[in-house]
Chain A
Amino acid sequence: MIIHEQEITWATHKLILTNKKAIYWPAQRTLILSDVHLGKAAHFRRNGIPIPSKIHQKDLDILEILLNHYTVYKVIVVGDLIHANANGEVLDFKNFLYKFQTIEFVLIKGNHDRIADRKILDLGFRSVCDELHIEGITFVHEPDKSAKFQISGHIHPGVTVKLPTNKYFRLPAYVVSEDMIILPAFSQFTGLDTKQVFEKAVNYAVLDTGIIVVK
């Protein structure tokens, strides 16, 4: 698997957007991702909707590749780590984190993260909070249009690209404006919001084969 990168300078910091839907911040050796929705497939299965669990495994495999590819001291998940409740797939993640004990995992709580903080810490997370500030950047779950230098997730942004043949394709995308970055959902098993339009924002749409800029 090849990781494609797009380097941007934002809020005076150098950030690397990857086509694996996570941002690497080299100066801080930090990986930033959002909307992991752990246990979503299992939650569906519990309710009688047969989704194969391989999809969940694939998300973890990608995370593992990212953690091995970059030098990572810290991982910030900007919300929606856990889709519903602590099921088997969530517990899988505990074993996963066990392999990366030297890395500090931090969760910004999202609207889906309704399970007790204690249980999240129990998985191997170092801390859980509602908001985080590092070097002038604010990390929150839900984007706030009035904020300054904010990184968030929540809306699962995407774009629709129209080919000249009147065919449409929807792709996950980073939304980047002067004041904010909204991450695409990390999990493959999520929908896309292609309807919200952010003024003066650039979209970086991700494909398996690269990143494309859509203005």
Chain B
Amino acid sequence: MNKFEQSLGYLHIVSWLNEYDRTPFSFQRKSWEKINAGYSGMVVAPTGFGKTYSVFLGILIDFMNHPDSYKKGLKAVWITPIRSLAKDLARAMQEVVDQIGLDWVVEVRNGDTDVKIKQRQSKQMPDILLLTPESWHLLLAQKGRDKFFTNLKAVVIDEWHELLSSKRGVMVELAIAYLKCQQPKLMIWGITATIGNLDEAMHVLIPYSGNKVKIVAKEKKLIEIVSVFPPEVEVLPWAGHLGGKLVEQVVPIILESKSTIVFTNTRSQSEYWYQILLDAYPDFAGQLALHHGSIDIHIRTWIEEALSEGRLKAVVSTSSLDLGVDFKPVDTVVQIGSSKGVARFIQRAGRSGHSPFEVSKIYFVPTHSLELIEVSALKEAVKTGLIEDREPIVLCYDVLVQFLVTIALGGGFVKEEMYEIVKSSFSFQWITAEEWDWCISFITIGGKIGKNYEEFHKVVKNEEGYYVVEKRRIGMLHRMNIGVIVSDAMVKVKFLGGGYVGMVEEYFITKLKQGDKFILAGRVLELIRMKEMTAYVRASQGKAITPSWLGGRLPLSSNLGALLRKKLADAKKPSTREAELKFLHPLVNSQEDKSHIPSENEFLVELIKTREGYHLFMYPFEGRLVHEVMSSLMAYRISQLYPISFSMAMNDYGFELFSDKEIVLNDEQLRHILRKEDLMKDVTASINAAEMAKRKFRDIAVIGGYVIQNIYGKQQNNKSLQASSGIIFQVLEEHEPNNLLLRQAYTEVFNQQLEEPRLMRAFERINSSAIIYKFADSFTPLSFPIKVDSLRQSLSSEDLGARIQRMQEQSNRLNRKRR
């Protein structure tokens, strides 16, 4: 027994645990010891194994062992990515504190917290405060914020993997950098599930020198994956239509389980499944709920509570239930369609069988037969622990300028000192002095072309040399806009007689006419009228449209893509244990007969001639986003050979170029268009980067403070300050092309939209593969799902004016649409 294990705090905690017949896991013991020694670090453990305790109890032990080093006031801030998690965590922590017999107070502070409690907290902070990244920044924007943190000992970031590769992660990095500068001894602890790049994840969170340690739990969560097989294999698999047929097989799964979560990938899919489950088994009424981001928050909270109390048989949900509190009664998870990534699949599986050593059981329901290959791929990924990386985001100036105003608002900063703080964070380690100057001039004089920004007021340098916000109104506008989550304009849906149903995107509802029926929250609703940002409806029956929510299409991760290629090749000779591959054998045979099944070191290209015209299919298995870029690039390169225009379609497996003109392409030309040389040059020429950047700028404009976000539920009284990000984008393109926020929009296009590194790797791979070029006169099993996918695009090199003019000439094709 070492010295730590004889310490008062340790013995006290262990004896408390023993009262409940529990003993600490070794990773918990190790993290307690390290916290006791003043280390920073990161704990990696599967859910359900007491990750929270590994850090929280560590802090309590450290306090009991070194009571003198803990002063009055806030001792630790605990950051969670979602509010609902905070409430439960605080309750659990307070219970532990009380049982151990400490007088600490654990409290939550976020958007749901009562104003009175917030005021009291500002006067007297609790000992542990649970925050979201947003409420943390709001606290930093408060006058006199430094006194809140004078005795802070530790910062804990829970579910760090969820924040890491988002702008919210950058918010966390900046806040840590700021507090670390005030409290050089501050301990920083991250808690994360397994991801591919753990070392990087820790370095992003703790780029500081000093003792730090990564603690990985040896305990593993066992996952059992069960495929739901359709009655027979379809040789030409439709995209998406199969799902509904399998409902008869899903009903018994739900009936045999205590409580089930049915995960879908989009909100419309969840509405659909809710309906068909009820139709297939009407007795589910009252025991089946629907949970997604557009459903009223109160209803969602009720569902979550009912689920944890075991009052619901099943919940159909989207990623809205991926995270959050543990639902103990849930013993089964059903995944409808591709989960698009290994990490998400494991996360979802882990929502069932929550306690340690229980097996998480997940059923996979394919939406088309080919998706069964994915099950086989996922099984292998789970077995070998091949999980995606989460790439950190660097140099997002929008978050930085917002943060600078936040700090200016809460008491100000000194320019030189702040530069060092910002540079100490992972995200901004590469910021140049010039860029820093731009950021400062952006918040003080509005940008680099000073004279053009007369009358600009935001941050000013006061007599003591501090950069501060002086005007109250600006402070108020800024507080309203803190955060990096930018949402679409949403419309409230209410019954005529009162009663709130949920929200839908404005874009969807404005397409509807009076009397049109649509489905929301599992109900058929008839639109009566629109008034301001509210749609009034009445309950109805019969056929209705399901809103298609934007942004529901997640791309396939590159890990899963690689595994899919491998499994597809394996499918030619499936081993007896791979039931999914065996099941698919007829389909695979048909593909092999008509065309070819590519091996891992082959790249398949199909040229198919039908009555409609000519279809060129390629199968990189790199996900929809990459295929979007690749298809534009292929179209562009072919059109360099001879004049031709294409329309494009794609899914996660491959893409199609279609033309009514003959696509003439010999082996040599094919190799030429697939070359890796001049890749980015041709990509840039083939896409409309400005249009893509404009879309990216939407979020940047809100985060950077160009657009005042409509706060949902609050009276909008800033009408005279409304301008759309599109207009501002155009203004900046024309008048201030070197604006860093504008440049950031283009960078985001290249890094996130075009996925430059992944695209390069894909071309490297294709160039080192054998290219198999096949001809057919009808669709093959691989090509068919792409063919029927509706998302079509096309490439044209003419500019807008010319295109519209051409359309005018063929005026019957000019199709005007109100939306």
Contacts and interface: CB of A to CB of B under 8 A. Distances in A.
A52 B728 CA distance: 10
Contact of B735 (A45, A54, A87, A208): A54
B818 A165 contact: no
Nearest to A196: B818
B736 interface: yes
A94 to B, nearest CB: 16
A162 B816 contact: yes
B449 interface: yes
Give the most central of A55, A159, A215: most B CB within 10 Å: A55
Contact of A88 (B455, B722, B805): B455
Interface string B561-585: 0000000000000000000000000
Given A51-B731, A52-B736, A55-B731, A194 B721 contact: no
B159 to A, nearest CB: 33
Contacts of A165: 647, 792-794, 796
Interface string A29-68: 0000000000010111111111111110000000000000
B477 A48 contact: yes
A124 B335 CA distance: 70
Contacts of A215: 816
9 contacts: A42-B455, A45-B453, A46-B457, A160-B816, A161-B814, A162-B815, A169-B804, A188-B731, A195-B510
A89 to B, nearest CB: 8
Contacts of B647: 165
Interface in B41-65: none
Chain A interface category by residue count: 35 or more
Interface string B758-773: 0000000000000000
Given A50-B446, A52-B735, A162-B817, A191 B724 contact: yes
B447 A50 contact: yes
Interface string A150-164: 000000000111111
Given A50-B706, A53-B454, A163-B804, 7 more contacts: A46-B456, A47-B477, A48-B477, A52-B732, A160-B819, A163-B803, A168-B819
Which label, helix, strand, loop or mixed, suits the secondary structure of the A interface?
Answer: loop
Contacts of B800: 169, 207
A212 interface: yes
Interface in A145-204: 159-166, 168-169, 188-191, 194-195, 197
Contact of B813 (A43, A51, A164, A197): A164
Contacts of B477: 47-48
Nearest to A47: B721
A84 B477 CA distance: 17
B723 A50 contact: no
Interface in B439-467: 442, 446-447, 449, 452-458
Chain B interface category by residue count: 35 or more
A169 B802 CA distance: 13
Contacts of B816: 159-162, 214-215
Contacts of A47: 457, 473-474, 477, 721
Contacts of A141: none
Nearest to B796: A165
A207 B793 contact: no
Contacts of B473: 47
B454 A88 contact: yes
A157 to B, nearest CB: 12
A194 B792 contact: no
B808 interface: yes
Nearest to A170: B726
Interface string A104-143: 0000000010000000000000000000000000000000
Contacts of B805: 209-210, 212
Interface string B467-501: 00001011001100000000000000000000000
A21 interface: no
A20 interface: no
B807 A45 contact: no
Given A88-B455, A166-B793, A51 B728 contact: yes
B119 interface: no
B510 to A, nearest CB: 6
Contacts of A53: 452-454
A43 B819 contact: no
A61 to B, nearest CB: 13
A196 to B, nearest CB: 8
A164 B794 contact: yes
A48 B793 contact: no
A163 B807 contact: yes
Nearest to A163: B803
Contacts of B455: 42, 45-46, 87-88
A169 B647 CA distance: 19
B508 to A, nearest CB: 13
Contacts of A51: 446, 706, 723, 728, 731
B727 interface: yes
A69 to B, nearest CB: 21
A49 B705 contact: yes
B721 A212 contact: no
A162 B814 CA distance: 7
Contacts of B734: 54-55
A208 to B, nearest CB: 7
A52 B452 contact: yes
A207 B801 contact: yes
A52 B456 contact: no
Interface in B692-745: 705-706, 708, 720-724, 727-728, 730-732, 734-736
Nearest to B458: A48
Contacts of B454: 42, 45, 53, 88
Contacts of A207: 800-801, 804
The 5 closest A-B pairs by CB, nearest first: A50-B446, A48-B458, A165-B794, A209-B801, A45-B456
A48 B456 contact: yes
Given A42-B454, A207-B804, A214-B814, A52 B731 contact: yes
Contacts of A191: 722-724, 727
A125 B442 CA distance: 36
A190 B815 CA distance: 25
Nearest to B478: A48
Contacts of A164: 794, 807, 813, 815
